[in-house]
Amino acid sequence: MREGCECELLGERVPQPPQRPAPPPAATGPASRRDRPPVPPSRAVPPPAPALPPPPRVTQAVTAAGKEAMTGARPCAAEERRSRERGSCGGAAAEAAAGGMNGARGAGRALAALLLAASVLSAALLAPGGSPEYGAEAAPPRDLDKKRHVELKMDQALLLIHNELHGTNLTVYWNSERCYHCSFQVLVNVSWSGKPGKPSTAAVAVSTQHGSILQLNDTVEEKEVCRLEYKFGEFGNYSLLVKHVHNGVNEIACDVVVNKNPIDSNLPVCVAFLIGVAIIIAVSFLRFLLSLDDFHNWISKAINSRETDRLINSELGSPSRADSLGGDTQPGGWCPPASPPRLRCVDTFRGIALILMVFVNYGGGKYWYFKHSSWNGLTVADLVFPWFVFIMGSSIFLSMTSILQRGCSKLKLMGKIGWRSFLLICIGMFIVNPNYCLGPLSWDKVRIPGVLQRLGVTYFVVAMLELIFAKPVPESCASERSCFSLRDIIFSWPQWLFILMLESIWLGLTFFLPVPGCPTGYLGPGGIGDLGKYPNCTGGAAGYIDRLLLGDDHIYQHPSSAVLYHTEVAYDPEGILGTINSIVMAFLGVQAGKILLYYKDQTKDILIRFTAWCCFLGLISIALTKISENEGFIPINKNLWSISYVTTLSSFAFFILLILYPIVDVKGLWTGTPFFYPGMNSILVYVGHEVFENYFPFQWKLGDNQSHKEHLTQNIVASALWGITVGILRL
């Protein structure tokens, strides 16, 4: 997704600028986190001796309050500014006009009012001072600590390190437990006070997003004193006591003491979730009541009673209305011809991804799980873009088949495909380009790749592929023996052959292209990852191809890997090589569209095939990743758009369609409101939310800019307003 305009990334960073230690000795194989080699010294310290003596025995004591904080404080968000990749809208392909559902307009108005009320309720419940935990108690840690001169920001805690070791200077190193094979970074130096019995103290802010790994070294002797892992809580106050233990053995204890309990920064998410559940229950109960004949008749009688109409007419006069009450039939009038039916589950799925994309692009309450993963792994923000691509593929086949059945020539349709692709690329480059934060758009710094640019290229390739090999879709094969049970795949063998060739190109370039200064087949983040051995190899072949063909100045300058891995080279998550796998994902969406059309009115067959695809792609993901975030053959990685990322998200997409299709299109238990309408206006919502991001009512000045609660309230209201806006436009 498109990266934001912020040119400074904040997240799991130590408060001081990181000092990259000297490269450790070459290892024969990747070391696990527990087998990580000792931390090298800082630049101001003499180089370490060739061999270090074994570290002394260490006792690590954690108080009961500290254990409670470690288990109770859950991971939260990033700091004040953010770096995000923005998702785009799917559904660039034109579909058939929306089918008529008699109750859709009324339900849309009712749900729009409910959403607006929910937004106001959320703002009231989550507003400043609404929760005592976020009120007076939470205020002191956020203010400047007058004694230690450490100003805490969001997702930080205060750590006081007390050095009680006589004649020993300590260097404290820090690392995040989510940073895979990362070299330690200097956190702070704590010198001996010079006075026996009087400890020296250093204050530092530590990250609370994930668990922290702290290692304390003797600065002079270059040996490890102790190491501990701890999960700090947001705005908590902690002390790390380093002292000798006199128990007959010369031991050094590193004890963590909780001076002030942290706050529960995830409480606003729970409140917002409960409000959402309450809205769903209220709407479902209202629909149930309206489905009861007695209740429906009572409502109709109360609203449209003849006595009420007689009183109104006698006072105000309404002969035309009075005449219409004389008969039971509705007055006749011109009715537009019925539109062809539209698969609402497709638009509903697209709308869900779209509203979720707006929410995470607006900040997602500054929670880390609503931001993109730094490298390997998945967060909520990593779901939206591939789902757009998937639904775009489904829309391509459904709309193209409908257009061809209406007699449109392939040549004319080819021109429409080219024009739409060109428009998507232009909108991405000239309207939704993140380099506007640097001033007026300059060709010297314009970012060539991007979300809409990738969607435009993907749409063009997949649509042209389907158009060239298009075949008539059988009306029904329910009673024909000649119909194949796998006709949705067999009829598409030329397209499958092309897709397999593209994937072979991706695998060949990724794992066999020589990259100067980097190991062949490297898939890591560079920076301090892999113990800092390959700092400029971010993305391996994918990054190298982009820098070679597009230039460093024309790709994204602040990738998400810079937050945790401190990468210093430009890398674009929407680069050239990853576009191959986005084409693969769109083609898997085409397969979903073919299942819906080839097996129309055969619900059981559709659900069986959705289940089969979900399981098949899931098994491929399991084999590629070994059910591990970092240890698999090809890890799940959004920055690389790895094939395991594609198969995993496609498996999720088939599962969602498996749920939505029977509920929305078969049983009619849910009309898809309010997500159906944003799904039909995806370009409007995407471009609009980008252009008006900094305007009221989508953004306003917060009372406390370091509060997850206030950011979450603002982002929920902004997302709901976009859903309400497109819903009103469709009414």
Other C-beta atoms within 10 Å of 536: how many?
15
**Which listed residue (210, 372, 554, 566) is catalytic?**
372
The token pair that represents 241 in the structure block: 């006591």
Kindly give, in sequence order, each residue whose CB lies less than 8 Å from that of residue 36, ignoring residues fewer than 6 positions away. 181, 184
Interatomic CA distance for residues 475 and 600, integer angstroms: 8
* Residue 372 is a catalytic residue: yes
Sheet holding 170-176, edge to edge: 185-190, 170-176, 212-218, 223-230
Secondary structure of residue 169 in the 3-state scheme: coil
Interatomic CA distance for residues 538 and 529, integer angstroms: 10
Interatomic CA distance for residues 324 and 321, integer angstroms: 5
CA distances from 86 to 241, 358, 436 (A): 44, 8, 15
Q: Where are the beta strands (DSSP E) in 87-183?
A: 156-163, 170-176
Other C-beta atoms within 10 Å of 26: how many?
7
Nearest to 484 by CA among 569, 564, 599, 590: 599
Interatomic CA distance for residues 31 and 531, integer angstroms: 9
Secondary structure of residue 260 in the 3-state scheme: strand
Residue with tokens 């039971």: 328
80, 154 in Cβ contact below 8 A?
A: yes
Interatomic CA distance for residues 475 and 532, integer angstroms: 60
Residue with tokens 């859950």: 74
The token pair that represents 126 in the structure block: 């989550």
Nearest to 646 by CA among 355, 378, 374: 378
User: Which one-letter amino acid corresponds to residue 625?
Assistant: T
CA distances from 3 to 166, 447, 559, 699 (A): 50, 10, 8, 19
Measure the N-to-C terminal CA separation of the chain; round to a whole number of Å: 30
CA distances from 85 to 3, 184, 287, 570, 584 (A): 4, 27, 38, 14, 21
Strand partners, 62: 256
CA atoms within 13 A on the CB side of 234: 31
User: Which one-letter amino acid corresponds to residue 581?
Assistant: N
The token pair that represents 279 in the structure block: 């809205």
Strand partners, 201: 162
The token pair that represents 550 in the structure block: 């597009």
| 85-86/170-176 β-pairing | unpaired
Interatomic CA distance for residues 695 and 372, integer angstroms: 24
The token pair that represents 27 in the structure block: 């290892």
| 223-230/237-246 β-pairing | unpaired
Nearest to 709 by CA among 237, 76, 15, 150: 76
Sheet holding 58-62, edge to edge: 58-62, 250-260, 237-246, 156-163, 200-207
202 DSSP 8-state letter: E
Q: What positions carry a catalytic annotation? A: 372
